[in-house]
Each structure stands twice: as C-alpha cells, then as structure tokens.
C-alpha cells in the first residue's frame, strides 16, 4: 500500500491546500430510457386512433322524405336481418324538404355500398295484399339496405318510401305498361299468367303530357320468356259480370285479383307468339279487359258526327259503331261541348255524337293514303243514303250502339258540324214500332166499339138478307148449270165467311177489350158422358 | 211516353201468354163407322147426289154447341169444327153411302145428271148435358119425280166426358143416319133413257 501516491502539496497548491475537494463534473450525453414510456404510450394511442379510423367503415348519407321512427345512435342498418351499420345522426336538408341521415356502415360491409344499393325504412305496413313489418312495433323501426350490384361505389343515397317490389339482382325482365284509364294498379300489384303470379308492378307514374298512366313492371324468370311482341296485357276485374243476349255470366278471379285487381297477360288465341322481348323497358298497352285484346289497334281513324234527335241514354264513349253487326269504329264523345253551339231543350235540338270509323276495319289498309280513299268513299255513300241509327242492343242495361245502314230511298247532302262530317241519323226500328203503336192505339181509342158492333150486326142482318136474295136469284138458273154452280159456290163461301165473323162480333159485344187482352180464360163447360 | 208504350207492349205479350186455355179443332172421320166394313167397289149403275145439308142458324158457326138445358144452347169458345159442319156431314154421309151401296155412285154436292138426290135438314147436331149426342132432322129424297120426306132422330148416348166423346157420338149418329138413308136410297135406279 506504500506505493500508493499520497496527496502532497505542491508549490503551486500550497495556499488552497486546505480547501474542499473539487467535484468531478461529468456531462451525460444520452436520453433517459424513461422517456420511452410516454413515447410508447403516444405511439400506442396513435395506433389505436388509426385502427379505429381504418376499422369503423365508411360514413354515408341517405336522404329520406320522412324520418319517422329513426333515432340516431339507436336505429340500425340491416341487410337480411344482419346488422351492417347504424344511424349516427340526422339533419334537415337546406329547404327542409327531406331528412339527411348520417349512417356508418361496418367496414366489412362497405363493399355492399354501390350506386344501385337501396335503403328503406321498415315500419308496419298494411295493404290489400299483405301485412308486413309488424315486428317493428316492439323493436322500433330500422333501415333495410339492399346491396347493389354495380361496380361503382357510392356514399350518398336516396331512400325509398317502400320496399322495392323486386329485390335487386332478381333475374327477369323490366317492362313498361301504359294505360289511359287512370291509376288502377299499385306498387306490388301482381302480374298474372294463367292464374300464376309472374311479376309485379314496381312503380306507378302519371304522364301529364300524354295523360296516360305508366306502370313499371318486372317479370321474373322463367316467365320473362312469355313476353313477346304479340303479348297483350289486360286489367283483371276480379269479378266480371257479362250481361248479353245469351244471358248473364258472373266470373270470379283469384282472391288476390279480387282484392287488388292486377294485370294478366297472354297472346290472343289464333295469333303467333312473335319474337321474344329481351330488352328491358319495352312498352305495352294495357287493355281494359280480356276481350279487348282481340281487337286490333288501328292507327288511322275517320271522325264523324251523328246528330241524334232522340234519347242517347246508354250510349257511352267506347260504344261500338257497327255495320251489319261488324264493328267498324267506336263512339268518342256524347257531350255537347263543341265550337258550334248546341241548345238543348229546344224542340228541334239535336245531340251531337262524335264517333270514329277505322278504315282498317272496312277493308282498307291502315295507311294515311287508304284512309283518304275511305273518307271519299264514305262521303259518296252518305250522299247515296248512308245513315246512322242509335240502337238499343241490351234492353236490360239499356246499352246503345250506333248502327250504320243504307237507306237508298233517302239520299243525303253532305254537311258538317263543328268541322266534322255528318252522317245523318235515322229512326230506329223500335222508334218506328213505337210510332206505329202510338198511331194504332190512337185509332183504337177513336173507334166507337159499341157503335161498331151494333152497326156490324145490322150489316150482318142485311148481308143475310142479301144472301137470301141471291139464293132466290140463283134459283132462276137451272140446277147444275155452270152459272148456277158458280153462284151457289160464291154464296156458300160468303155465307161461311159471315158465319166466321159472327162469333167475333158476338165476342166483341160481350167483351170489347178481348181484341187487345184476349178472350176470358175460363174453359168451356164440357158435355158429360154416360160413362165418365 | 215511349217507356209507357213499351210497358204496353210488354202487357200485351204478358197477357198473351197468360191465356192458358187452348183451342181444339175436331173433324168427323171419313173412315167407315163401326159395323160398316168397306165394301168392294163395283161398277156404278145409278148416281146419287147429296145436294145439300141445311143447318139451323145456331149450328152454322165453327163452334161446337152444347145444349145446357131444354131451351138453352151454348157455343164453345175453344172447341171448333175443323171445317164447315155442313160440308163435313155431306162428305161423311156420301162416304158411308158409297160404302154401303157399292152399286151406286154417291157424291157430295149437286151435280149434273143425278138419278137421285138427297137434301138434308138438320135440326140438332150437338152435345147435351143429358149424356146424349142429339142428331135429328129430316131428309128429302128425290128419285126421278118422286119425293120422299122423312124425319129422323139418330141421337146417341155419349160414352165419355168432353167434346171428343161428343164428336165420336156424332160420328156414330151419322153412321146410323147413313144406314137409314141407305135403306131408302138403295132403291135408286138410273133414269130411264129418254
């Protein structure tokens, strides 16, 4: 240990030798490991934020007309009863026309958000066809999402008022049905083929320009193969009553069609099926009833006026115009609202009936050129006596039609009413019968029956005297001679004729009204025999 | 007003259908009456004409007549002769006489060159409520210049009820009358040649 250096005072350090030792200061140049703790915490936090952001799924906006039953934070988004998201918030649009919902879709379901994805609020719904959404009475409303199929993704959507009739992606054919009869179908109304449901109405719109109702419909596979160019659609009446000359017929459809009406389709018997329709949204006309599908639709029509001087009760727009029982057109209007004023209640007033004749039904081609030919020919026929008669065809319902007929003895002059050519009206047979009956009744009323019977009896007595006179005259001829035989034969005939008339005169005297109501119906008393 | 007339027409149709009583038409059958088998035809030798059947006024109508009491007759409304009664009686008697007297040519109605003639006047030819068919009258038989006038009453019992039985009875009565006539007419001989 002697080798250990001992601190000694040097000449330079003699004075502060007694001073405190100097601290050996060392500079530390590295980070403290403790700082890793907050750093790690921050990193973890940032990682969690990132994970949360990345994992929460897309935020979308869905616009609804009404947000009834929707509660942010509670209302869920479901697809096939699987929760795929939730409503985070909602706010009114700028003009308060609609409600904007902020919806978070789970990340794993984000791929379902396509341009054609659809959303609708599931609430209790009751209509003629079904009752749905009753479960939401307890659980509250939720939003159903139908995944889209398009490639392009989307983040804003228009919510539907009601569930789509056809799920997206259902194989089939979209068609358009048009009608001039106003709204007779609703969304979800079935399209029937042979009593089987082949599709549904998806949307109903009204075109104010064309004044026609448009129905978007969807035909599911395999029924879409039935849609061809010659397919016809008609409204189901559910209950059909047909009263005709053959009697009355009552037909009931299925319960579904009775409740909702619906549309049926098919190809008219006797027609070819035609090429199949494979393109979506081809338009078809909806006929008012099944019988109407057999009527061909003509493009060309000539319009005429018939001025009726009798009641047109029972003559409705759409009533047929016939020639010898064949339909050649139909009635268009029976009102009096024309440029040329009609004054009813005037004794000579006539009611204008606007009707059309379709040249195609007359044997002409359905072209403009042939339509002009038909118009010229009809003008000639009018001059030669073509008339129209408002005729009752069904005495039970009072339904009337216009019957065109030739009256060669009554040629006409061409005339117009409100720029329409006029086909003159003629009296119907019933009218003629009524006029005849009226005259007959008047004559019968004018006949003094009592006087007539008395006078006739007197005449008979005189005739009898005359006969006897002629019999005496006949006696002057030699018996068996030709004049004698002829005279006797004539007298005999006359005598028998008088004998025939006598009971009638007697009957008239006893029962003057027997000619009209027939003799009294009591049977004759009969002779009794020895052996009954 | 027109609907009123339509109702009127409907009333006419309705009333027409309401009449339930039907009309019946009767004829006197031409076949030989019972007990008179048709005889074989032989060459005629004399001609007899049934020149007339005269009926009283109440029998001249086509209606069958029913005598309901002694003084009252009734014309049936729904039971008629199918042809004038005088012609029917004439044809039946001519047929019966032809069958009964094959040696004579008997014809209904006046003709030329008749050897004998018969004129019939009927007073009764109707049914009655006493279960009898009443057929009576007289006939005038003329042979050459000889005239025979004879009354007859060939009334028959009506076997069953109703007009059909009555007509059958009348036919039987005519058969009886034809037999009575035959007994007289059978003596007819051709006119001697002048």
Q: How far is CA A53 from CA A27, A42, A57, A241, in A?
A: 45, 16, 8, 67
In a domain, A411, yes or no: yes
**Is the per-residue pLDDT at A98 higher than 70?**
yes
Q: Which residues pair with A407 in a beta bridge?
A: none
If one compares A330 and A310, the residue with the highest pLDDT of the two is A330
**Is the per-residue pLDDT at A473 higher than 90?**
no
Q: Mark whether A421 and A325 lie in a shared domain.
A: yes
In a domain, A520, yes or no: no
Q: Mark whether A275 and A323 lie in a shared domain.
A: no
**Is the per-residue pLDDT at A3 higher than 50?**
no
In a domain, A47, yes or no: no
Q: Mark whether A222 and A191 lie in a shared domain.
A: yes
Rg of chain B (C-alpha set): 21
Whether A434 contacts chain B with CB within 8 A: yes
Q: Mark whether A419 and A458 lie in a shared domain.
A: no
What is residue A127's predicted lDDT score, i.e. its pLDDT? 66
Sign for the CA dihedral angle at A142, A147, A153, A158 comes to negative
Give the domain-ending residue among A104, A129, A158.
A158
Q: Mark whether A154 and A178 lie in a shared domain.
A: no
Which of B60, B113, B114 is the best residue to mutate to test the A interface, defined by the most A CB atoms within 10 Å of its own CB?
B60
- Contact assessment for residue A191 and residue A263, using Cβ atoms and an 8 Å cutoff: yes
If one compares A344 and B110, the residue with the highest pLDDT of the two is A344
Which of A436, A467, A478, A527 is the best residue to mutate to test the B interface, defined by the most B CB atoms within 10 Å of its own CB?
A527
List of chain B residues whose C-beta atoms are within 8 Å of the C-beta of residue A507: 77
Q: Mark whether A143 and A75 lie in a shared domain.
A: yes
Q: Mark whether A204 and A145 lie in a shared domain.
A: no
Bond into A222 cis (ω within 30): yes
Picking from B8, B111, B158, the nearest residue to A529 by CB comes out as: B158
Residues 404-433 (A) with a CB less than 8 A from some CB of B: 433
Alpha-carbon gap, residue B148 to B140, rounded angstroms: 6
Give the domain-ending residue among A96, A123, A158.
A158
Contact A437 B8 (CB under 8 A): yes
pLDDT digits (tens, 9 = 90+) for A104-125: 888 888 888 888 888 988 877 7
ipTM reported for the complex surpasses 0.85:
no
* Number of domains making up chain A: 4
Q: Mark whether A277 and A318 lie in a shared domain.
A: no
Record: fold of B52-185: Rossmann fold (3.40.50)
Whether A521 contacts chain B with CB within 8 A: yes
Alpha-carbon gap, residue A514 to A495, rounded angstroms: 25
> Which residues have CB under 8 Å from B16's CB, separation 6+?
A518
Contact A479 B61 (CB under 8 A): no
Alpha-carbon gap, residue A241 to A228, rounded angstroms: 30
Q: Mark whether A407 and A369 lie in a shared domain.
A: yes
In a domain, A22, yes or no: no
Q: Tell me the HSE value of B73 on the side-chain side, using a 13 A CA sphere.
A: 16
In a domain, A458, yes or no: yes
Alpha-carbon gap, residue B43 to B50, rounded angstroms: 19
Q: Mark whether A231 and A112 lie in a shared domain.
A: no
**Is the per-residue pLDDT at A2 higher than 90?**
no
Domain carrying residue A397: 302-430
Q: How far is CA A340 from CA A11, A308, A335, A343, A418, in A?
A: 148, 15, 12, 10, 5
Report if pTM > 0.90. Answer: no
Q: Mark whether A64 and A142 lie in a shared domain.
A: yes
- Contact assessment for residue B101 and residue B182, using Cβ atoms and an 8 Å cutoff: yes
Alpha-carbon gap, residue B103 to B185, rounded angstroms: 11
Contact B84 A496 (CB under 8 A): yes
Torsion from C-alpha of A79, A82, A85, A89, nearest 10 degrees: 80
Q: Which two tokens stand for residue A244?
A: 């005709």
Q: Mark whether A279 and A386 lie in a shared domain.
A: no
Asked which of A87-91, A112-116, A346-350, B109-113 is least confident by mean pLDDT, the reply is B109-113
pLDDT digits (tens, 9 = 90+) for B135-177: 999 999 988 778 889 999 999 999 888 999 999 999 999 999 9
The domain locations on chain B are 52-185
Which of B55, B74, B131 is the best residue to mutate to test the A interface, defined by the most A CB atoms within 10 Å of its own CB?
B131
- Contact assessment for residue A263 and residue A286, using Cβ atoms and an 8 Å cutoff: yes
Whether A499 contacts chain B with CB within 8 A: yes
Size of interface A-B (CB pairs under 8 A): 94
Over pLDDT 90: what percentage of chain A? 16
**Is the per-residue pLDDT at A386 higher than 70?**
yes
Picking from A434, A516, A522, the nearest residue to B2 by CB comes out as: A434
Give the domain-ending residue among A101, A129, A158.
A158
Gap from A348 CA to chain B (nearest CA, Å): 18
């Amino acid at each position: 240990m002697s080798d250990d250096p001992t601190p000694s005072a040097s000449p330079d350090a003699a004075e502060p030798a007694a001073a405190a030792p100097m601290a050996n200061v060392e500079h530390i140049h590295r980070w403290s490991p403790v700082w890793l703790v907050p750093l790690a915490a921050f990193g973890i936090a940032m990682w969690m934020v990132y994970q949360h952001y990345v994992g929460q799924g897309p935020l979308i906006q869905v616009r609804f007309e009404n947000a009834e039953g929707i509660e942010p934070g509670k209302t869920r988004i479901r697809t096939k009863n699987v929760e795929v998201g939730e409503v985070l918030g909602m706010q009114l649009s700028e003009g308060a026309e609609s409600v904007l919902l902020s919806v978070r879709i789970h990340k794993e379901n984000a791929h379902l958000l396509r341009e054609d994805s659809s959303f609708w609020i599931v609430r209790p719904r009751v209509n003629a066809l079904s009752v749905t959404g009753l479960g939401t009475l307890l659980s509250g409303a939720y939003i159903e999402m139908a995944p889209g199929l398009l490639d392009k993704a989307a983040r804003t959507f228009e919510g539907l008022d009601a569930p789509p009739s056809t799920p997206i992606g259902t194989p089939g054919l979209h068609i358009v049905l048009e009608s001039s009869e106003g709204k007779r179908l609703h969304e979800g109304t079935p399209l029937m083929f042979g009593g089987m449901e082949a599709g549904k109405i998806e949307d109903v719109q009204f075109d104010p320009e064309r004044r026609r109702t448009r129905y978007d419909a969807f035909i599911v596979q395999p029924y879409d193969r039935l849609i061809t160019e010659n397919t016809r659609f008609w409204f189901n009446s559910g209950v059909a009553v047909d009263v005709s000359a053959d009697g009355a017929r009552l037909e009931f459809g299925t319960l579904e069609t009775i409740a909702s009406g619906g549309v049926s389709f098919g190809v008219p018997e006797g027609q070819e099926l035609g090429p199949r329709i494979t393109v979506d949204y081809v338009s078809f006309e909806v006929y008012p009833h099944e019988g109407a599908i057999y009527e061909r639709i003509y493009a060309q029509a000539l319009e005429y006026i018939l001025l009726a001087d009798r009641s047109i009760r029972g003559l409705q727009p759409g009533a047929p115009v016939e020639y010898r029982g064949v339909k050649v057109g139909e009635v268009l209007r029976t009102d009096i609202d024309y440029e040329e004023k009609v004054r009813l209640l005037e004794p000579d007033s006539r009611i204008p009936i606007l009707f059309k004749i379709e040249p195609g039904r007359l044997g002409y081609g359905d072209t403009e050129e042939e339509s002009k030919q038909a118009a010229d020919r009809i003008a000639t026929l009018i001059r030669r006596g073509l008339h129209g008669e408002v005729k009752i065809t069904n005495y039970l319902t009072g339904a009337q039609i216009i019957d065109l007929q030739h009256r060669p003895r009554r040629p006409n002059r061409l005339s117009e009413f409100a720029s329409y050519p006029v086909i003159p009206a003629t009296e119907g047979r019933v009218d003629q019968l009524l006029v005849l009956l009226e005259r007959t009744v008047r004559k019968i009323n004018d006949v003094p029956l009592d006087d007539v019977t008395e006078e006739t009896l007197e005449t008979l007595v005189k005739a009898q005297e005359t006969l006897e006179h002629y019999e005496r005259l006949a006696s002057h001829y030699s018996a068996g001679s030709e004049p004698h035989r002829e005279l006797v034969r004539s007298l005999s005939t006359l005598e028998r004729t008088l004998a025939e008339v006598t009971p009638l005169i007697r009957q008239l005297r006893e029962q003057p009204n027997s000619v009209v109501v027939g003799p009294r119906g009591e049977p004759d008393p009969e002779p009794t025999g020895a052996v009954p | 007003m027109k609907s009123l007339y339509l109702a009127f027409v409907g009333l006419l149709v309705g009333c027409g259908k309401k009449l339930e009583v039907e009309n019946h038409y009767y004829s006197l059958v031409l076949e030989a009456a019972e007990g008179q088998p048709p005889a074989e035809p032989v060459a005629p030798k004399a001609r007899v004409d049934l020149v007339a059947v005269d009926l009283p006024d109440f029998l001249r109508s086509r209606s069958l007549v029913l005598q309901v009491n002694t003084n009252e007759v009734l014309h049936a409304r729904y039971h008629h002769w199918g042809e004038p009664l005088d012609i029917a009686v004439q044809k039946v008697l001519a047929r019966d006489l032809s069958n009964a007297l094959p040696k004579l040519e008997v014809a209904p109605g006046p003709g030329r060159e008749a050897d004998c003639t018969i004129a019939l006047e009927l007073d009764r030819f109707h049914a009655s409520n006493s279960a009898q068919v009443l057929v009576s009258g007289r006939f005038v038989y003329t042979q050459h210049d000889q005239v025979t006038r004879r009354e007859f009453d060939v009334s028959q019992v009506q076997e069953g009820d109703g007009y059909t039985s009555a007509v059958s009875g009348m036919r039987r009565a005519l058969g009886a009358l034809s037999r009575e006539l035959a007994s007289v007419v059978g003596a007819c001989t051709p006119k001697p040649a002048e």
